[in-house]
Amino acid sequence: MSPARARSTPALTLEWLGCATFRVAVKGLTLFFDTFVDRVPSAEPVGVRSAEVTRADFVFISHAHLDHILGADTLAKNTGAPVIGSYETIRVLRQNGVPAEQLWPVSGRETLDCGRGVSVSVFPALHSCTWAAGTADAGAPCCGELQVPYQQRQARTERALDALHATTADISDYVGGRCRTCRSPTAAS
């Protein structure tokens, strides 16, 4: 590579913060991809907690599962960065106090111009079928179990959250204290 070419190549720093969380620094911008950095005390720390993050220009959330979205509200509030995510992600963050002007809903196939010649292409996150029937075919479409009534899905969600809360007191405290949408009342199934 010629010296002229080397100088024009932008420096990029990619930090993996566990699970699917990455912090990217490029051309003076800081981009987060998922925000799950807060861990229970028994887990290895990732070097930063959401409350300690003071710099983010954009926050991208792949989908609204706990191990991707946890901490996004804190990063948004601490940094003022817009949060880009599915409509479900945006709903959860809105209900957790993130200002509307910071919430940018996407459905996939959009390209976001982050400025300074940096752009991010969004792809649909087809990973939200929590109660779909199991299949060994990884290429099978996930459409959920259409015959399962809404109330039964809510009851299943409640049982899953109860199990999560019983397993990990720290997550229970976090979800119970901050995520008002996680414990919705359910009708009898």
Q: Which residues of 100-124 are buried (b: 16+ CB within 10 A; e: fewer)?
A: eebbbebeeeeebebeeebebebee
pLDDT at position 182, please? 43
Q: Averaged over 36-63, what is the pLDDT?
A: 93
Tokens of 92: 């959860």
52 burial level (CB within 10 Å; 0-12, 13-18, 19+)? exposed
Is residue 81 within 8 Å of 61, Cβ to Cβ?
no
Query: For 144-162, what is each residue's pLDDT tens digit?
Result: 555 667 777 778 777 776 7
pTM summary value: 0.68
Query: For 12-34, what is each residue's pLDDT tens digit?
Result: 999 999 989 999 999 999 999 99
Q: What is the topology classification, in CATH, of domain 3-121?
A: Metallo-beta-lactamase; Chain A (3.60.15)
Give start-end residues of each CATH 3.60.15.10 domain in the chain: 3-121
pLDDT at position 187, please? 35
As a whole number of angstroms, the distance between CA 35 and CA 86 comes to: 15
Rounded to the nearest 10 degrees, the angle between the axes of helix 87-95 and helix 72-79 is 70
